[in-house]
Structure 1
Amino acid sequence: MDVAALTFLALGLPFVAALVAPVLTRFLGHNAAWLLAFAPAAIFVHFLRFVPEIADGEIVTGGYAWIPSFNVSFSWLIDGLSLTFALLISGIGALIVLYSGGYLKGHPHQGRFLSFILMFMGSMQGLVLSDSFLMLFVFWELTSITSFLLIGFDHGREAARRAALQALVVTGGGGLLLLAGLLILWNVSGITQLSLLLSFGAELKESPFYLAVLLLVLGGAFTKSAQFPFHFWLPNAMEAPTPVSAYLHSATMVKAGVYLLMRLNPVLGGTPEWQILLPLFGVATLVSGAALAVRQTDLKLMLAYTTMASLGLLVLLTGLGSPHAIEAAALYLVAHALFKGALFMVAGIIDHETGSRDLTRLGGLRSAMPLTFVIALAAALSMAGLPPFFGFLAKEEIYGALSGFDARSMAFAALAVLGNALMFAVAFAIALKPFVGPKVETPKQAHEAPVLLWLGPAILALKGLSIALMSGLAHRLISSPMSSAIAGEPRTVTISLVPHIGMPLLLSAATVLVGVVFYVNLDRLRAGMAVVLADIGWGPDRGFDQFIRGLLRIAVAVTRRVQSGKLDVYMTVVFVLVAAVLLATPVLYGELPRAPFFAADVPAHELAIMAIAVAGLVAVVLAADRLTAIVSLGIQGFAVAVIFLLYGAPDLSFTQFMIETLSVVVLALVMTRLRLSPSDHRPLHQKVPDSMIALACGLGFGLFLLRATGTPFDATLTDFYNLYSKSIAHGANVVNVIIVDFRGTDTLGEIAVVMTTGLAILSLVRLRAGSLKRGTDERQDAEERA
């Protein structure tokens, strides 16, 4: 099987595994996780085969035509950036599936959860490998939908439902902004594939639509990657089970926005707008996320807010766009995926084995959970940026990018040191405080976790150490190709564990020093942040609730106004719009018909038929009750049918006779069953406007018919039907052939409309009859009680 076919199968394999997950779990229980983990493991092995080729500077594209007429394809792009994401998603995904098997052991809906997590994995895998715009958007929205299912997995709790809805609204709204940006890109460039768009950067930056594209793309990226002030959905997403949190924060959805910015950096980056907006929002997200993390005592919330801070740091570095900044972003993205995935799983282990994840209610767990403690400490060392872990390399490269003596660089460096120092304190608070100190009584008797729980974080923590020790190989295979893809030109990453005396090392030392101070005074810092947040009061999270409530109020008000529940209002609106369209269009565009010519020698029988039609109209208007009006209305229909017959259209005349007869019968029966008022009790001030609307509609249709019949007759369609009705449809009656064969689908639609209308009328009749019967029964019961 060729590479293209295997890649196509790799993109679809998670969704196939999601289909069989509930069945396997039903028969195998939590052991089904071992089998299901083979799907992401196989994907990881498949993409691992591309590493040497991509490391040599190659780019692999492929796919299949999806909608050829619109130049839309199901295509993929594999370069250093997408390959790194694909390996992280599939590799960490396999560990998450195993972890889920242990974490949700015995849960009645474990199969459904594994199905959701595999669909989530497939969605993110498709997103980062997409080459076509449409494929990118489809998978982008799939990540929002599957994350909604995962966050709201425990749907019995209101908090989970609210968090899921919040994430869907925020990221779904951002997805619509992204769609608009992609459509403008398509319109400006005529390109529908990212691999071709990368060479269109210079033209796009000179386009008057550049700013619109940038703002729309940033709207999609910032909402997806939880940039301030759109960050509030991310910590609330911690209502999801811990496997979701670990996967969401390490390798998948929250990094989708960062991926998009990195992917489009060669196209949109390097402009003043890019270098102002991204660093500004990035540094605001970094500092606010790190400060909010200090405020928390829940292990998952602490990690969630540090993820927010890390995403801000990645956006800051991508926005700066310098060689060191791009390389730092590549290194930190990989480092963060490894240590954050490990720490989230450690938090889940603590919660699973002790029954609590409140930092103030944990302590002395080192003797009961020694392996978990070692894993947590290793991941925290990488998060803190200490050697010999990969996080140290990333932090040194970050400070190398921020080392400068201009005011802008110094401000960013100071804020980066502050944010990293706060994350340093949080990392060691999670790694040390639950395990050291006096033993604290926990809701459950603490003990070491089973292999399915500790295997994943142990591998990730060990990986953070091993790739740092083998940094040369890691840079050649991963870091350099990824940096080259982000920059749009060849880049070589060379940083190693050997300390480099200079400003980056001094900033790193300052981070450690300040971080230690923050850690020692963590309780005071937490109390201070609580006071600050209390003084601030209102925040984006509360604002979201206010926005939703306001939106619902507006929706209710609009619905009450336009959906009053009164049929006469609906009919009035419809006919007013019909009259407006029929009268305004010919007046505005100068298409009024010429005055009709009345022949002097009209036969007497035709005049008689006309007179009958007018008499029927007068009878309808003057009818004292609705039944008389319906019968009188049939007079007009029969008169029109006779006119059709006189002018040589017997088929049409017969159809008209049948329609009028059935209409009169059906309407008369309905009026009888519904027992409507026998006469029109409307006051004059209501009759006059209705009469004016009726006259306007009649005048409009009359003008339209005069204009249509006044144009030269085009016999093209007539000749077509006459020519092919016999030879193709094998029918001599052209009218029947048109209705049954050439317009068969149209006729089927008309039949469906008639059937739907009949069902609606039947429902109304039964509803009315049931209401009358209930009313009669209630009166009888009241009389008996009396």
Structure 2
Amino acid sequence: MLIAILLGFIFSLFLVFTGKVFRGKFAILSAAIPLILFIYFAQFIGRISNGEVITEMHSWVPSFGVGLGFTLDGLSLLFSLMITGVGFLVFLYTAAYLKNHKYLDRFYGYLSMFMAAMLGLVLSDNLISLFVFWELTSISSFFLIGFNNSNEASRKSAITALSITGLGGLALLVGAIFLGVVTGTYSIAEMLNSGIDIGSNSYYSIIVVLIFVAAFTKSAQFPFHFWLPGAMKAPTPVSTYLHSATMVKAGIYLLMRLTPVLGAHELWNSTLIVVGAITMVYSAVHTIFRTDLKGILAYSTISALGILVFLIGQGTTDALLAASVFIIVHALYKATLFLMTGVIDLQTGTRDTTVLRGLRKVLFPVAIAGFLAAISSAGIPPSIGFLGKELTYESTLHFEYSAILLIVLIVITKILLLYSGFVAGIRPFAGKLPERFEKVRMPSPLLWMPPLLLAVTGIVFGVFPGIIESSMIKPVVSALGKDGAEVHLQLWHGFNTILWLSVLTIVIGTILYFLIKPTARLEAGIAKLEFLSPKSISLKIWVWFTKFSDIWTNFFQNGYLRSYVSTILVVLIALTGYSLYNTAQFNINFDKFSKVTIYEAVISLIMLVAIFYTVFTRSRLAAVASMGVIGYAICLLFVFYSAPDLAMTQFSIDTLTVILFVLVLYKLPKYLRLSDYKTRIKDGVLSLAVGAIITVLVLEVLAEPVNGEVSDFYANNAYLLAHGKNVVNVILVDFRGADTMIEISVLSIAAIGVFGLLKLRLKKSDQR
């Protein structure tokens, strides 16, 4: 499985060197990668349907309990087949859609990287590695959404998507760490088998909230949904792939995967039901007010994702069964509608539903695909969408809490999704062909075959549901901790309440389709309420936050070194002083002062005099000389206390420092008094406070019992292991050799930078 995941990344890297080959007629060869992967995963269908779970382990960071563990069960197999199957058709479609595009190889590189990241995400058993792949999907989708980087709207949409999903990624990382601490493992399989009741842990609520933030941002749940309509600025293959079978389904996958671990608790179930219900109804209503085909599909996608979250929240076997089927339903019809929209846009130059009519006469195969996708979206037999709708109604009607309210909400949502499906899949092809579209011609088969194949597959699965029953659906339900053996799919369930609800949905939805026509007036009307939308509110918060950041930055980052140092010292005094006030326990033994020799007393007195002279002198050179005196006095103290190596080091540093200061200060103007009396008083008080804090801190350290374990280790092993008699030098060069090398590298880089600045000579025209 690791090779299967890396294949996409390897192909992306391969394109860096051979990209020109895949820009022309050989672009179609790129589709071989997802096709090979689809065949690879398809061969596991028989084993998985027999109840087998395939695992693969690779060591990564064992010291932190992080490994590259992969699990292939019913759930991960379903998503893997969707990722590679739809991916294969998208790769084919792209060869014609972006034919001869100068950056086609770059697009395939991003697409392959995204596919590989999604496979790693759904196959990962370790939460930390899952997070890594989760973030890779966000990064690669950023490049895909912003592929048309010369377009400002595309760039803005890409940044918005990355910001929202990136926030969720951080939440996922923290949630994964909490979950690992609580369970003692990052392996999802081990969490399931551990028998630990995470719901009784005090961290349960925090974990659940963090996982929700991750899933809701990725799967565009209210109020984080607004990034998805903006992502429609991406090329159609991107919209198809990210928003039907991959990107937005990642959050759904996370919720389904962790349902056996975190589910069956009121916080989990109630939150998912509420958020899912709000999202599905809110977004379904929005489809009425959109005229752009991609806009309609975007909001219907959000609504469909809300339905999935709504079903996962119910947590029953029937609900999880309905969610499993609906994942397939949505992937098939939504990918079809997106690909169909791309063909229409490419051939007619517009996606405006107010002008698109009669295209069946010039795009007949595309019209068939749109019609089949529309009836699957509407849940009309014999499509797989009908089966998914029936299962959704059944699970909701039999839910034990607020069943009536929930069934009303889901029926309203399905009615509106039927309307949007008809508008997107049927309306552009119905009626009389306008004169402006009479010259439209059939595109390459690579553009109309993929959507037609997906649409027909939706009908085949509906007529013969047994194809997916044992091969996909039963293993998925079993992977979610339910009894998959009880699953039986059939198109006809007889005359019952569920059927009458379906009839009601179809009738009302069809009436709405004929009564409500997409118009610019409706879209303008909903635009008046834009100030209440989560997107507008988020933008206002962003503006306020930016203003606050400007004020904060201008106050603390004002360009004055004095201000920066003062701020650092004040924070140091506050934090360290507070800690010492509560914990300091040292006692000063004044009897030890009697042991101070005359030499030590004289040296200390010299240092004090030099310090005062440094502070109050009006001559820079005198101040530098006084600081040199202080350094040499410290050297003598080191000699008195039998530390000649430190004394020599201090002597060298002080001598060099004095010379450098003199050379620099020699070029400066005469001594100027640049601060007033109050500022000097403030600086003096601050300096005394820092000195007092450091003094107390040193005394506190000296009062602590000495643990000689580390010192003994270095003393005993310096000669034996490093063959050096100077313990300090051995520590710096051998035991801490890497650290010392990095420090030297940093100093070298800084020195090169300083030298470059000193030698820099700008022309007057370049000076600012």
- Is the shorter-chain TM-score for this pair beyond 0.5, marking a shared fold? yes
The answer to whether the aligner puts 1:421 opposite 2:415 as a matched pair is yes
Q: C-alpha distance in 2, partners of 1:730/1:212?
A: 53
Q: C-alpha distance in 1, partners of 2:250/2:33?
A: 22
The answer to whether the aligner puts 1:485 opposite 2:479 as a matched pair is yes
Alignment match of 1:688 (pick from 671, 675, 681): 681
Alignment match of 1:259 (pick from 250, 253, 257): 253
Three-state SS of the structure 1 residue aligned to 2:486 is coil
For the Cα contact (< 8 Å) 1:638–1:660, is it kept in 2?
yes
In the superposition, the TM-score normalised over structure 1's length comes to: 0.91
Alignment match of 1:731 (pick from 724, 728, 732): 724
Moved more, 714-723 or 492-501: 714-723
Q: C-alpha distance in 1, partners of 2:446/2:757?
A: 60
Alignment match of 1:89 (pick from 72, 83, 89): 83
For the Cα contact (< 8 Å) 2:276–2:308, is it kept in 1?
yes
Q: C-alpha distance in 2, partners of 1:441/1:602?
A: 106
Structure 1 residue identity aligned to 2:44: F
Moved more, 469-478 or 722-731: 722-731
For the Cα contact (< 8 Å) 2:146–2:155, is it kept in 1?
yes
Q: C-alpha distance in 2, partners of 1:713/1:186?
A: 36
Q: 1:529 Cα shift?
A: 6.8
Structure 2 residue identity aligned to 1:493: V
Alignment match of 1:299 (pick from 273, 293, 297): 293
Paired position in structure 2 for 1:473:
467
Q: 1:292 Cα shift?
A: 1.0
Alignment deviations for residues 17-66 of structure 1 (CA, whole Å, 9 cap, x no partner): 11223544412424343322111111111111211111112222222122
Moved more, 409-418 or 119-128: 409-418
Q: 1:646 Cα shift?
A: 3.9
Alignment deviations for residues 379-401 of structure 1 (CA, whole Å, 9 cap, x no partner): 22211212222111111212222
Paired position in structure 2 for 1:281:
275
The answer to whether the aligner puts 1:638 opposite 2:636 as a matched pair is no
Alignment deviations for residues 428-462 of structure 1 (CA, whole Å, 9 cap, x no partner): 22232222322224479411121221222122112
Q: Which blocks of at least 5 consecutive residues in structure 2 are unaligned?
A: none
Q: C-alpha distance in 1, partners of 2:78/2:339?
A: 21
Q: 1:644 Cα shift?
A: 2.5
Q: Specify whether residues 269 and 353 from structure 1 end up closer, same or farther in structure 2 by C-alpha distance, changes over 3 A only.
A: same
Structure 1 residue identity aligned to 2:447: L
Q: C-alpha distance in 2, partners of 1:528/1:718?
A: 79
Moved more, 206-215 or 581-590: 581-590
Q: Specify whether residues 216 and 718 from structure 1 end up closer, same or farther in structure 2 by C-alpha distance, changes over 3 A only.
A: closer
Q: C-alpha distance in 1, partners of 2:594/2:615?
A: 30
Q: C-alpha distance in 1, partners of 2:377/2:188?
A: 33
Paired position in structure 2 for 1:3:
none
Q: Specify whether residues 319 and 718 from structure 1 end up closer, same or farther in structure 2 by C-alpha distance, changes over 3 A only.
A: closer
Alignment match of 2:316 (pick from 308, 313, 322): 322
Q: 1:160 Cα shift?
A: 0.9
For the Cα contact (< 8 Å) 2:317–2:482, is it kept in 1?
no
Alignment deviations for residues 473-503 of structure 1 (CA, whole Å, 9 cap, x no partner): 3201111211222343334332322352111
Identical columns (%): 37
The answer to whether the aligner puts 1:332 opposite 2:326 as a matched pair is yes
The answer to whether the aligner puts 1:236 opposite 2:208 as a matched pair is no
Q: 1:202 Cα shift?
A: 6.8
Q: Specify whether residues 84 and 716 from structure 1 end up closer, same or farther in structure 2 by C-alpha distance, changes over 3 A only.
A: closer
The answer to whether the aligner puts 1:170 opposite 2:155 as a matched pair is no
Alignment match of 1:515 (pick from 500, 509, 532): 509
Alignment deviations for residues 486-545 of structure 1 (CA, whole Å, 9 cap, x no partner): 343334332322352111111111111011101101217985575355357421122222
Q: C-alpha distance in 1, partners of 2:501/2:271?
A: 25
Q: 1:350 Cα shift?
A: 0.8
Q: C-alpha distance in 1, partners of 2:364/2:320?
A: 38
Q: Specify whether residues 729 and 180 from structure 1 end up closer, same or farther in structure 2 by C-alpha distance, changes over 3 A only.
A: closer
Q: 1:183 Cα shift?
A: 2.2
Q: Specify whether residues 614 and 537 from structure 1 end up closer, same or farther in structure 2 by C-alpha distance, changes over 3 A only.
A: closer
For the Cα contact (< 8 Å) 2:290–2:518, is it kept in 1?
no
Alignment deviations for residues 206-255 of structure 1 (CA, whole Å, 9 cap, x no partner): 33333322222222111111112221111111000000011112110111
Q: 1:699 Cα shift?
A: 3.2
Q: 1:348 Cα shift?
A: 0.3
Three-state SS of the structure 2 residue aligned to 1:356 is coil
Moved more, 14-23 or 397-406: 397-406
For the Cα contact (< 8 Å) 1:191–1:197, is it kept in 2?
yes
Q: 1:322 Cα shift?
A: 2.7
Three-state SS of the structure 2 residue aligned to 1:108 is coil
Structure 1 residue identity aligned to 2:96: G
Moved more, 372-381 or 273-282: 273-282
Q: C-alpha distance in 1, partners of 2:753/2:361?
A: 72
Q: C-alpha distance in 2, partners of 1:405/1:623?
A: 85
Structure 2 residue identity aligned to 1:185: L
Structure 2 residue identity aligned to 1:567: L
For the Cα contact (< 8 Å) 1:354–1:445, is it kept in 2?
no
Alignment match of 1:562 (pick from 556, 561, 573): 556
Q: C-alpha distance in 1, partners of 2:76/2:494?
A: 31
The answer to whether the aligner puts 1:745 opposite 2:726 as a matched pair is no
Q: Specify whether residues 39 and 603 from structure 1 end up closer, same or farther in structure 2 by C-alpha distance, changes over 3 A only.
A: same
Structure 2 residue identity aligned to 1:479: I
For the Cα contact (< 8 Å) 2:530–2:536, is it kept in 1?
no
Paired position in structure 2 for 1:400:
394
For the Cα contact (< 8 Å) 1:235–1:301, is it kept in 2?
yes
Three-state SS of the structure 1 residue aligned to 2:483 is coil
Q: C-alpha distance in 1, partners of 2:147/2:603?
A: 71
For the Cα contact (< 8 Å) 1:342–1:461, is it kept in 2?
yes
For the Cα contact (< 8 Å) 2:23–2:103, is it kept in 1?
no
Structure 2 residue identity aligned to 1:367: K
Paired position in structure 2 for 1:26:
20
For the Cα contact (< 8 Å) 1:104–1:110, is it kept in 2?
yes
Q: Matches of residues 670-681 of structure 1 in structure 2 within 5 Å?
A: 670-673=664-667, 675-681=668-674
Three-state SS of the structure 2 residue aligned to 1:13 is helix
Alignment match of 1:700 (pick from 686, 690, 693): 693
Alignment deviations for residues 310-359 of structure 1 (CA, whole Å, 9 cap, x no partner): 11111111112233222111111101101111110010011111111111
Paired position in structure 1 for 2:44:
50
Structure 1 residue identity aligned to 2:736: R
Q: Specify whether residues 80 and 617 from structure 1 end up closer, same or farther in structure 2 by C-alpha distance, changes over 3 A only.
A: same
In the superposition, the TM-score normalised over structure 2's length comes to: 0.94
Q: C-alpha distance in 2, partners of 1:602/1:227?
A: 73
Q: C-alpha distance in 1, partners of 2:588/2:650?
A: 29
Q: Specify whether residues 22 and 551 from structure 1 end up closer, same or farther in structure 2 by C-alpha distance, changes over 3 A only.
A: same
Q: C-alpha distance in 2, partners of 1:470/1:315?
A: 27
- Root mean square deviation, CA, Å: 2.7
Q: C-alpha distance in 2, partners of 1:744/1:629?
A: 37
